[in-house]
Structure formats: structure tokens, C-alpha cells
Amino acid sequence: MPNQRITGLNSEQFATLLTALKNHLTWNKPAEKPHKLTLTQALKMTLIYHRHNVTEELLASIFSVSQPTVSRTITSIEKALEKALRPLEQSIENSLKIPGSLVIDGTLIPTWNWRSLGATNFSGKHKRAGVNHQVICTLDGKLLAITDPVPGARHDAYAFKHHGLERYLDESTLADKGYIGSGLATPGTA
């Protein structure tokens, strides 16, 4: 079964996700031409694509299919995963109802540097275009929430306020210097 380093999921997690996917997608329909990849291969390809940010051309070579097949496959799996995982979505408020200290940090998810969006998505700190997501987890690293994106040119403190996270996080939440003045536990605060 899939290697955790490649997909980010252990065999049990992959099997669970594959089962959920099968419940929301009929992969090979009787009246249609069968897909070149099995559903297992298609899911693995999609996970690799997102986990490692590799090109579709490279995936086409690895899976011995064409680049357009990779593109269509990833799009189909993404849409099915969105439906399959929607019942698991929780509001940020419900996700953060956990006792103990939390940790927040922003991360830049790289995007293409489209000229029309370059100025708003270009992060001077990272020297590349992207979008800023706020990631909230427990002290032991259990992921609790990831916010919707804001332009990559925006600072973590802006994203924190934009999403209204001050309603859910307080002085017991650990944060880096990018959150000074936000009421969180940052370096230099006592």
C-alpha cells in the first residue's frame, strides 16, 4: 500500500480515505470508457501532487499516462474528496474548543506568480507569490484549524484579525513575533 512519506497517510488512513471516496464517486461507469488509472492510483497521484507540489508532467511520467490525464484525474478526485470530506468540516469555533494551550502561525502556500495578482500575492519575506493561511494546533502538534487564504503580501497579524481569531484565542496561545500586539503569548511578553 502507499508509503506514508509519499502520500502523508499511513496505510490505514489511506484505506479509510479511499473507502470514503468510493462512497462519493463511481470511478468506472459501465457506459463509459474506463479510466487509465485505478481509483487507488488516482488518489495516490492526487495526494502526491498536493503533498510535494510536483508538476503534472512529472506525475504523468511516474504513472505512465499523459499530462491531460493527470489533470483530469486530479480534478475529479479533488471534487469527490470535497464532497466526501464536507461532513467532517467544523467551524473554527468548534475546532478550537479544546483545553490547554494552542499554537498559531502563518504559512505561505506558493502559487503561480500571475502578473495580475503578483503585487497582492507576493510575499517580500518569502520572496515568492502565494497565499497566507493561519494554522492552529495543540502543543503536541495536533492540527485543529487552517483558515481560508488571504493574499501572501499580508502579514500574519493582519490575517489573524481578518479572520477574527481573537474571539477564539487568548494570552495562553503561543505565537511568534508576527503576532505582537494581538493579545497572544509572543516572545517578549510575560
CA-based nearest residue to 147, from 184, 96, 182, 85: 96
At 166, phi and psi to the nearest 5? -65, -20
Rounded Cα distance between 5 and 52, Å, is 10
128: containing domain: 92-179
Residue 132 bridge partners (DSSP): 108, 150
Query: Domains in the chain: how many in total?
Result: 2
Q: In this model, does residue 76 exceed pLDDT 90?
A: yes
Residues 109, 40: one domain? no
Residues 8, 82: one domain? yes
Question: At a CB cut-off of 8 Å and minimum separation 6, what does 73 contact?
Answer: 35, 37, 42, 45, 46, 65
pTM of the model: 0.64
- Give the residue from 88, 121, 154 where a domain finishes: 88
Residues 151, 97: one domain? yes
Mean pLDDT of the chain: 85
Residues 96, 62: one domain? no
Q: Which amino acid is at 145?
A: A
- Give the residue from 39, 72, 88 where a domain finishes: 88
Residues 81, 9: one domain? yes
Tell me what the mean pLDDT of segment 124-143 comes to. 81
